[in-house]
Chain A
Amino acid sequence: MKSTFRRFCTARIIEHWIQIVTFSALVITGLSQRFYSLEVSRWIILHAGGIDSVRLLHRYAGVFFSCAVLAHILTAVFGLVIKRWQPSMVITRNDFLNAVHNIRYYLGNERYPAPGSRYSYTQKFEYWGILTGGILMIITGAVLWKPLLITRFMTGEIIPAAKVLHSNEALVVFLIISVWHIYNAIFSPEVFPLNMSIFTGSLSRERMIHEHILELASIEGTTLEEIRAHENDDDAAGER
C-alpha cells in the first residue's frame, strides 16, 4: 500500500508559484490604491516610487496574471477535450449536498465528514470563486486601463461601474484568499503549519483518507466503507 500519492504535476506547482507572486503584487499595488488613505498604503506608495509607479506596476502584474489565467484556461480546455481528463473541478449537485453534510458533521449529526473526491466542495467553490473573480478583474482592469478606447464603443458609465466592480471584486478575491484559502492551507489544525501538497505535489495516505477518500478508493480499487473499516481496525489496534 502506497503511503504518499502524487496530486500535482510540476506544471501545476509552477503555476501556483506564479499565482502567488502575481497575486501578491496585485494585492499590494491594488489595495494600496483602494485604501490610499491608510498609513501602510502611503508607505507602500512612497516606497514603490509614487502612485504613478504603483499604477504601472499594478498593470504589469495584471498583464502577467492575465497571461497566467489564459494559460490555465487553455490548459484546462486542452486537457479536458484532447486528453480526456476527468472534469474533477466541475461543481455538481453532490457538492451542495456535501456542504450540508459537512455542516451536519460539524454540529455532531454525522459520524464522518462529507467524503471528498479529487477536489472537496470547499476547494471547488474557492477555485471557481477565484477563477470567475480573476476573469472579472481582468476585464474590468482592462476597461480602467483604457477608458478612452472603451468609451469609443460604450457609454461612459461603464468606467465608474468597472471601477466599482474592480475594487469590490478585488476585496472579494482578497477575502477568499486571505481568510478562506490561508485558513485551509495554513491555520486549519489538520494541516498546520502548512499544507505542502501544492509545493511538493504529493499528499500522505492519511490526509488522503481524511480529505479525498473517494479519490483514494478509486485509486486503490476499493470502496469508501472498506477504507474506513480498515482504518477503524488500525485505530483499535493502536489503542490496544
Chain B
Amino acid sequence: MKWTRGSLWGVVLLFMLTLAGRAGGEPAQLSDESRMCLDCHAKPGIIKFFQNNESLIAYVDADKFQTSVHNALACSSCHPDFSSGKHPTREFKTKAHYRIRSSLVCRQCHTDEQIKKRAVHRGLLQEEKAGKPPVCTNCHGSHTVTRLSGESSFTNEEQYCSRCHSHSMTMHFKNSDTLSLKVDSLALKTSVHGKLSCSDCHFGFSSEEHPRRNFKTRRDFTLASSESCRRCHFDKYTKTLESIHYTVLSQGKLNAPVCTDCHGSHAIYRVGKERTASAKRCQRCHSKEYDTYALSVHGNALFNEHNQDVPVCVDCHTAHTIEDPLSINYRERIPEMCSNCHAKKEVVGKYGLSTDVQKTYLADFHGVSLGLYKMEKGKLDKPHKAIAVCTDCHGTHNIMNTRGTEASVVKSNLLKRCQKCHADANEHFPDAWLSHYEPSLKRAPLVFLAGLAYQIFIPIMLIGFVLQVLLHIWRYAVNR
C-alpha cells in the first residue's frame, strides 16, 4: 500500500482529534454497561441509606460523567462488585465509612508512587499512616472526576483551590500544632478580598504548583503568612514597623499580633463605622483593659447605648502605629487625643459637655508646661519630665462620668491623684485647680473679681498714660 499525502494528513488529523477529545474531556462514547446503569442512575430518586440513617443520593449526572476523565471507563471499573448481571446490596455503617471504602478503588489505578509526586498528596498519605485515610472524592469528585491541574474545567483559581480547601483538611506542624486548611468560601467571597485570587496572597501556589512548606509551629506559619499583606498594604505595613507590637515581636515574643491576628485571614471585613467590632479585636489579647473600658463612661455608652461617638481602642492607640502608651511621647499627645472629641462642640455638645476643657487645661500650669516641654524636645538636650495630663486625673480605660458623682467623692479622688506628684498636698490643694471651669462669681469669685478689676483698670491706666504723653508733647510743641 502506498501512502498518499492526503491519507497521511488524514491520519494526523484523526490523531489530533483523538487527543483533543481526550484532553478536553469531550463527550465520548459510553460503554454499554455504563448506559445500562445510567438507565436508572441518571434519574433522580435513588437513595442509599446507611446504618446510622445517613443517606446518599445515588444519582449520576450523565452529561457530567460523559465529560469526566473517566468517561470511557465502564461503571464496574470503579464499582467492581457491580456489573450488568450483578447488583448486590451492601451495608455500610456511615457515609464516611462508605467514602473511605470507595476511595480505595481509586488507589488501584492511581498508585501511591504516582500520587506522591504531588505535595498535597504526600501530606494526605502521611495522615493515612497516622490512621486518617484520605477520601479522594472529597477533592476530585466521583462521577465528575476532572483533572485538577492543567484543565480548563475551572473558571477561576478560587474554584480550583476550593475543590480541596472547602473540605476539612488539617496542616500538621513539627511541634504537633495543627491548623485547619478548610476555607469558608462564602466568607471569603463576601470579604473585602472577595475579588482576589488565592495566589494573590498565597504566592508560590497556583494550579500548577503546590509547594510543601515546613513550619515548626503554627505561629511560625501565621507570621510568615502575614508577610503577604504588605504586598498591597505597604503603607500600613511600614506603620506597624514603628509600633510597639512590632518592637515586642522583634524582641522574640512571637505572640505579638501581626496583620492576620487582628484582621483575620479569609474572612476580612471592613469594620467601618461599627466600632464595637473594632474594640473586640483588641480584646483577644488585652482582655483586662477591654473589661475596664467596657465599664467606663465610654465603653458603657458604646456597648449599652450603641453610641458611635465614643472612642474605641484605636482612637487613642491608633490601629497600626501603636505606640508604647507608657512612653513620654505618647503621654504628651494625650491632651490632643482627648481634644479630638472634647474640644469639638459637634461631638460633645449634644451630651451637654463643655468644650472649654482643653482650653482651660492648656492655659493652666500643667498645660503650659506640657506645651513648652514639647517645644523644647529635640532642641534642648535634657531628659523630659512627665507632667499631669488628662488621664492622670480622669483615668485611662476606666474614665468615669464626673457628673452625678458627689463633689466630695470627686474631690477626694482628685486629692489622691495630686498626691502622686505633690506628696504633701492636703485637702485644700485640689481647689487650686478650677476643675476646667472658667472663673465666675459662683465658681472662684476671688479669681473672677481679681481678673475683672484688672480688665477695667489696665485700659483706663493705659489711656491715661497715652493722653498725658500726647498732651505733654503738644504743649511742648506749642510753647516752642
Contact = CB atoms under 8 A, between A and B. Distances in A.
A46 B376 CA distance: 7
Interface stretch (B42-50, B139-147, B351-359, B443-451): B443-451
A160 B476 contact: no
A93 to B, nearest CB: 20
A227 to B, nearest CB: 18
Contacts of B385: 52
Interface in B355-409: 368-369, 371-373, 375-376, 379-380, 382, 385
A160 B444 contact: yes
Contacts of B430: 156
Nearest to B454: A168
Nearest to B444: A157
B213 interface: no
Contact of B471 (A49, A106, A156, A160): A106
A164 B454 CA distance: 9
B380 A175 contact: no
A103 B469 CA distance: 11
A168 B451 contact: yes
Given A106-B472, A148-B425, A160 B454 contact: no
Contacts of A159: 431-432
Interface in A127-151: 147-148, 151
A152 B461 CA distance: 36
Interface in B448-466: 450-451, 454, 457-458, 461-462, 465-466
B431 A155 contact: yes
Contacts of A36: 368, 371-372
Interface in A49-73: 49-52
Given A49-B380, A175-B461, A42 B375 contact: yes
B458 A151 contact: no
Interface stretch (A19-27, A75-83, A183-191): A183-191
Contacts of A114: none
Contacts of B432: 147, 151, 156-160
B465 A180 contact: yes
Interface in A80-118: 103, 105-108
Interface residues of A, number: 42
Interface string B415-449: 00000001011101111111000010000101100
Interface residues of B, number: 44
Contact of B431 (A50, A108, A157, A188): A157
A154 interface: yes
A158 B431 CA distance: 9
A45 interface: yes
Given A51-B376, A154-B428, A160 B439 contact: yes
A189 B470 CA distance: 12
Nearest to B474: A106
A172 interface: yes
A18 interface: no
A46 B472 CA distance: 41
Given A156-B428, A156-B432, A158-B446, A189 B476 contact: yes
**A176, A179, A190, most chain B CB atoms within 10 A:** A179
Interface string A29-45: 00001001100001001
Which of A107, A159, A160, A183 has the most chain B CB atoms inside 10 A of its CB? A160
Contact of B473 (A108, A175, A189): A189
A144 to B, nearest CB: 9
B75 to A, nearest CB: 90
Which of A106, A158, A172, A190 has most chain B Cβ within 10 Å? A106
B369 A51 contact: yes
A172 B454 contact: yes
Contacts of A224: none
Nearest to B443: A157
Interface in B326-367: none
Contacts of B444: 157, 160-161
Given A172-B454, A180-B465, A156 B431 contact: yes
Contacts of B451: 164, 168
B428 A168 contact: no
Most chain B Cβ neighbours within 10 Å, of A103, A157, A190 = A157
B336 to A, nearest CB: 16
A172 B372 contact: no
Contacts of A107: 471
Contact of B450 (A49, A147, A156, A161): A161
B478 interface: yes
A224 to B, nearest CB: 19
Given A106-B471, A168-B451, A189-B473, A50 B376 contact: yes
Contacts of B368: 33, 36, 51
Given A51-B376, A108-B475, A168-B450, 20 more contacts: A42-B375, A45-B372, A45-B375, A46-B376, A46-B380, A50-B380, A50-B382, A106-B472, A147-B432, A151-B428, A152-B428, A154-B428, A156-B428, A156-B430, A157-B432, A160-B444, A161-B450, A164-B447, A164-B451, A168-B454
Q: Which 8 A-B pairs have the closest CB atoms?
A: A156-B431, A159-B432, A168-B454, A106-B471, A151-B428, A51-B372, A156-B432, A161-B446
29 contacts: A36-B372, A42-B375, A45-B372, A45-B376, A49-B380, A50-B382, A51-B372, A52-B385, A103-B471, A106-B471, A106-B472, A106-B474, A122-B468, A151-B425, A151-B428, A151-B429, A156-B430, A157-B446, A158-B432, A159-B431, A160-B433, A160-B439, A160-B444, A161-B444, A161-B446, A168-B454, A172-B454, A172-B457, A189-B476
Interface of B: 368-369, 371-373, 375-376, 379-380, 382, 385, 422, 424-426, 428-434, 439, 444, 446-447, 450-451, 454, 457-458, 461-462, 465-466, 468-469, 471-476, 478
Interface of A: 33, 36-37, 42, 45-46, 49-52, 103, 105-108, 122, 147-148, 151-152, 154-161, 164-165, 168-169, 171-172, 175-176, 179-180, 183, 188-190
